[in-house]
Amino acid sequence: MRTHFELCRPGGLVLMTFPTPTVLYRAIRGLAELTGQWIFHDERPLRAEEVLRAAAPFGEVLDTRVLWAIGLTQGHAAFRAAGGDA
- Tens digits of residue pLDDT in 45-69: 999 999 999 999 999 999 999 999 9
Asked whether residue 75 is assigned to any structural domain, the reply reads yes
pTM metric for this prediction: 0.85
Count of domains observed in the chain: 1
Helix (H) or strand (E) holding 55: helix 48-55
Domain of 34 in residue numbering reads as: 2-81
Asked whether residue 86 is assigned to any structural domain, the reply reads no
Instruction: Give, in order, the Cα–Cα distances in Å from 59 to each of 10, 39, 47, 70.
Output: 9, 32, 18, 27
